[in-house]
Structure 1
């Protein structure tokens, strides 16, 4: 009789990073994801373009997001929707810097600046922001220099192409493997450039140079990206794949956003970038209470 050999143990799942070092503070992670509320100081963002284009309305929205459970507010003055046109530097500064200053003065919420422009990032840090959220993955060496100069926490996102071209037939042989490899490699490059590893957060870029099926594949595999050693941020809120999955592009996507958020919480994603944090905070809390995060 042949001997039975025990199966080798399954490889250990990569563990989520426990914290993210920001410009002047450390953001410690717990069981539930941190919520990052979105403030678009733009006339043309895909979801709420124009609603908060006025500075006072943008400040009020940021404060409301904080009251509704957002630990971070992400302020942006240039739309990154597909086929968006670039915004001149002076105009982007005019839109966002007064909002950053006012929010930092009026609330203890962490402020992130969503920008591709190094000078906007630099001035936002001087105004009190803690995080640079750059959808190009800090492609501009000058943005890396600003991050080094200011000590900002950085969010590095994967995007195939640019906002103007990213949805022109994005192609991958294996989207999960390619995005995961890019995130790990980009983190390594930034560390070699002098950034401290603990200041880097990674974002797979849902809907940025991805088809809806590709975005869903990334969401299903987010847990694999912890292997890169950095916190993970996912921005799935109100994205097109939700409307397509439901079969109605005009329907309220909040229930779909919540459903995806619960799955991402199970996969250890540390930061969720969302438009409406209040229902997500409640859903995540009850999901945890009901044992949804237990293995």
Structure 2
């Protein structure tokens, strides 16, 4: 049995209760320690995709290992079906659920990615996705590569937080409000909010290359993982169909610019993305048919953003 995401007659509400432990330099329980932890993620999931991109941008591959789940999960767990024998080679698990139960045998909430697992105990430390990428930047600095980007520039953090909050509520979560709306009223409201935000982003990016100016920040990563799924999934599957990303001149070029940047496009797998959404969401795609398009060649076309 697959989970149901649509509640008849209701707006979509995201459960934002996560395991709130953090891995920090000063923690006595979960100190930053290279080789101790494993990031478990999935290229199909936009929230996990953030952590994958940040880990590579910062050069943390040697300090923090990574396990990848397959794109299709059941109501209980993400699984390691991409690995030989369907077993994560470091944790020895077939199902991510095993790491959650090692943390709490009575754990009854969602089994989500990204999750960071303590390898010695096999237990999940945290699945709080906004804090995971935040702490990879601030707490793991000793292990960043020398030329790692400044994803949280000090003089822009206040404005950047405001931008990220709006991107999360109106875009990252906005597409889900459309896709999982339980009534026409809920869908219409969600649709209008989403495209108002996308129009705002078109305007904001018309005269700056990235969301905060001339350098990539955490804000761009958080927006990118939604944009990368827009035409392939959200436009049709989630009924976000006023305009395709490829029809938005500024936002489309901005997304291609990021896609062609190391650590971004190479961590996008459109086949996994489509299989995840179209196969897992049986309540809105009961046939289980996965679309063949759109053409991926658009992502490699010139973007012209160097002149912005």
Establish whether TM, by shorter chain, passes 0.5: no
Q: State TM-score, norm by structure 1.
A: 0.34
* Structure with the bigger percentage of strand: 1
